[in-house]
Amino acid sequence: MLYQTINSLKTKNPKLKILLSIGGYLFGSKGFHPMVDSSTSRLEFINSVILFLRNHNFDGLDVSWIYPDQKENTHFTVLIHELAEAFQKDFTKSTKERLLLTAGVSAGRQMIDNSYQVEKLAKDLDFINLLSFDFHGSWEKPLITGHNSPLSKGWQDRGPSSYYNVEYAVGYWIHKGMPSEKVVMGIPTYGHSFTLASAETTVGAPASGPGAAGPITESSGFLAYYEICQFLKGAKITRLQDQQVPYAIKGNQWVGYDDVKSMETKVQFLKNLNLGGAMIWSIDMDDFTGKSCNQGPYPLIQAVKRSLGSL
């Protein structure tokens, strides 16, 4: 079973904590509704969670509700509170460590305002996994090029677009009441791509649609890092000094991505703010064989690990 395989990693690192995550992008928000709507169904869920986590030797639960809307944020807050209370109660009668409780949360200002009662969540969550990527992509209207995960605001950003960067998202969560040490900053191992609509190639250039699908991920507008490395052969690479991330152009294809240098820069940023750590999305999209980028296996994740040192 996959659970057993993952948990066997603890033999190599006894300090490793492995959490089970529920929800996610494909699960969406509606899947949570039947469970959170009543105290009875929430209790049934919570009891089943504790039993499952303990039986399979997990160390906690990550709730990845993507995303509760303004009407649902109370249900989300109550669910987190009841989970935290139940985990504490379980701990008092267990010989094991207390189960950890975390949540995958939005990096968008409007979503933060609508979806989360931050001060209450801060009391119950051990940390948040901030989904600080997907700031720009081929879903936007009007369709123009933009970086997937800029660290800082670009010179051209005005109004709401000035919120679409990691620095702002982290600062806003802290401003709303989440302690910095409970903020785990998400860093992507993929990029978003566009098909250019004109000879203009800078950030904010008009696009006619998503970029061509990669040969492995087969998803238009999206490239894993191991696909990006192949794309970079013969491409023109530009590093954005303001946003502190690179993008590349080849023909009419444009991709904004993270590389080893931007990973190191982002880790230094989170260390300067005394954040809780870094979260990688996702392990399988790094160059896990080391053959696509010629930087060794997992070059991006290794850069994060190396830069983190000991927080």
Which residues of the chain are modeled with pLDDT < 70? Answer: 1, 310-311
Q: Does domain 2-187+260-283+301-308 bear CATH number 3.40.190.150?
A: no
Determine whether 55 is exposed, middle or buried from the number of CB atoms within 10 Å of its CB (0-12, 13-18, 19+).
exposed
DSSP conformation class of 132: -
CB of 100 closer than 8 Å to CB of 19: yes
**Looking at residue 3, what is its pLDDT?**
83
Q: DSSP letter string over 71-84?
A: TTHHHHHHHHHHHH
If phi over 0 gives left and psi between -120 and 50 gives alpha, with beta otherwise, what is residue 309? left
Q: Which residues pair with 194 in a beta bridge?
A: 210, 254
Domain residue ranges of the chain, discontinuous segments joined by +:
2-187+260-283+301-308
Report the predicted TM-score, pTM, of the whole model to 2 decimal places: 0.95
How much of the chain is helix, strand and coil, in % rounded to 5? 40, 20, 40
